[in-house]
Amino acid sequence: MIGKAIGKVVHSFKTTNEHEESATISVTFDFSTCTDTDIKNWLVSNRAIIMQRPLRTLTLAELKAVNGTTVDASTCGKKVKSKHDQFLAGIAALKACGMEVEANKLMAEYNAKIESAKAALEAPKTETEETESN
């Protein structure tokens, strides 16, 4: 059992009561009677809470893309890079390796796609599109 292996753990933390009074307290948590399922559930709940802050920076489409993926529990609280940030990191890596021409070409193609997508979003709807959306 995981709980028996963990045993007792002393942990100090700050807490605030309903009167806004704060204190730092030290508590010994005894895990020796906890089931493996209990501990796994607590771990997953903790990781989900930790992961929420970096996920707030993503678009809805990017959030939906995370659905069903496997996440490394040791890094899930770190900033999640959007696809745009990942692309820019790749461009920076190419430049750092001396591949300036290739990086510039990819960046130009990427910027052209962004401009095309923006133009498509800003274009007025045709009569057919108006009818289909109603």
Contact of 30 with 4, CB cutoff 8 Å: no
* Cα 109–chain centre separation: 27
Task: Give the closest residue to 2 by CA, choosing from 29, 28, 34.
Answer: 34
- Which residues does residue 30 pair with via DSSP β-bridges, in sequence order? 8
- Ranges in the chain, pLDDT < 70: 80, 126-134
pTM score, whole prediction? 0.51
pLDDT at 62: 83
One-letter amino acid at 60 equals: L
DSSP-assigned letter for residue 71: -
pLDDT at 2: 93
Question: Cα angle at 126 between 120 and 127, to 5 degrees?
Answer: 160
pLDDT at 22: 95
pLDDT at 59: 84
Across 52-68, b (16+ Cβ under 10 Å) vs e yields: eeeeeebeeeeeeeeee
